[in-house]
Amino acid sequence: MQAVATLNPNQRAVVPRLLIGVAVALTLLIVVAPLAYIFARAFAEGWRVYAANLKHPATVHAIWLTSIVALIVVPINIGFGIAAAWAIARFRFWGRGILVTAIEIPFSISPIIAGICYLLLYGRQGLLGPWLQANDLQVMFALPGIVLVTLFVTAPFVAREVLPLMQAQGSEQEEAAVTLGASGWQVFTRVTLPNIRWALLYGAVLCTARAVGEFGGVSVVSGNIRGQTNTLPLHVELLFNDLNATGAFAAASVLTLLALVALVVKAGLEARRA
């Protein structure tokens, strides 16, 4: 402490500048350089080759399937997140702690383990496999299996963003609305929802980014069938395995753009929340 106190102002400014320089250098090395390399390789053979790779039927199907999964998963998780946060923040009931713990489980379990669990439950040789097969229901190696495992890995995002805000705000405004004669739906739409809208949007953005980029769990339950059950992350791996590096980087650039858009939206929402 005495050594620091004897430093002049110019010397004191060296330490924060050094730390900032290290942070910027690491960001450029770890984040910016790989992103730049993805786009450099994607466009290495020109725009026409890049567009041709993106227009390939297998790539188009992978983009379409990834979008469909996200469009199914995100609204369901928004509804689940709001309901779970509302129940935990506003009520005291038996099993409340279990519910809180259950919401955190997807963060503590590897997505691959989750995929294996779904396979052992809904697969042909799984617990419910014979019944599903007898009723001609296909869950594994089809869209339902991909949606189920993606729902699992993305379940906590909305609830984790909405719950702390609802707990911090309390229920005074909602109770006041009830005393004034508002119905439950009116309380939710006119009081609760406006108060949590930024946290809700923030959680939805995180959920979308995770759903689009999920690889481990989906790789187990999808079967990696080209043009049928291949999501975009799985398609990138298949292109690499086919030694089509340019096509793989072109597909990866789409995922990168989606991630960058999610980061921009996330930063904007954080600014609004602040």
- In this structure, which long-range contacts are made by residues 92-98, counting pairs with CB atoms below 8 Å and at least 24 apart in sequence? none
Residue-level pLDDT at 90: 86
Residue-level pLDDT at 1: 45
> CA 155, CA 133: separation in Å to the nearest integer?
28
CA torsion sign for 146, 147, 148, 153 is positive
Tens-digit pLDDT string for the chain (274 aa)? 444 555 566 656 677 888 888 888 998 899 889 989 999 999 999 999 999 999 999 999 999 999 999 999 999 999 999 999 999 998 888 888 899 899 999 988 999 999 999 999 998 888 998 999 889 899 999 999 999 999 999 999 999 999 999 988 888 888 888 888 888 888 888 888 888 988 898 899 999 999 999 999 999 999 888 888 999 999 999 999 988 999 999 999 999 998 888 888 877 877 776 6
Neighbours of 141 (CB within 10 A): 19
Computed on alpha carbons and rounded to an integer, the radius of gyration of the chain in Å comes to: 24
> CA 120, CA 124: separation in Å to the nearest integer?
8
Task: Supply the DSSP symbol for 123.
Answer: S
Give pTM, 2 decimals: 0.87
> CA 49, CA 265: separation in Å to the nearest integer?
30
HSE, CB side, 13 Å, CA atoms: give it for residue 79: 5
Strands annotated E in 75-207: none
CA torsion sign for 260, 262, 268, 274 is negative
Burial of residue 157, with CB atoms counted within 10 A of its CB: 0-12 exposed, 13-18 middle, 19 or more buried: buried
Written as six digits, the tokens of 159 are 């609830």
Share of the chain above pLDDT 90, in %: 53
Residue-level pLDDT at 223: 85
Residue-level pLDDT at 177: 86
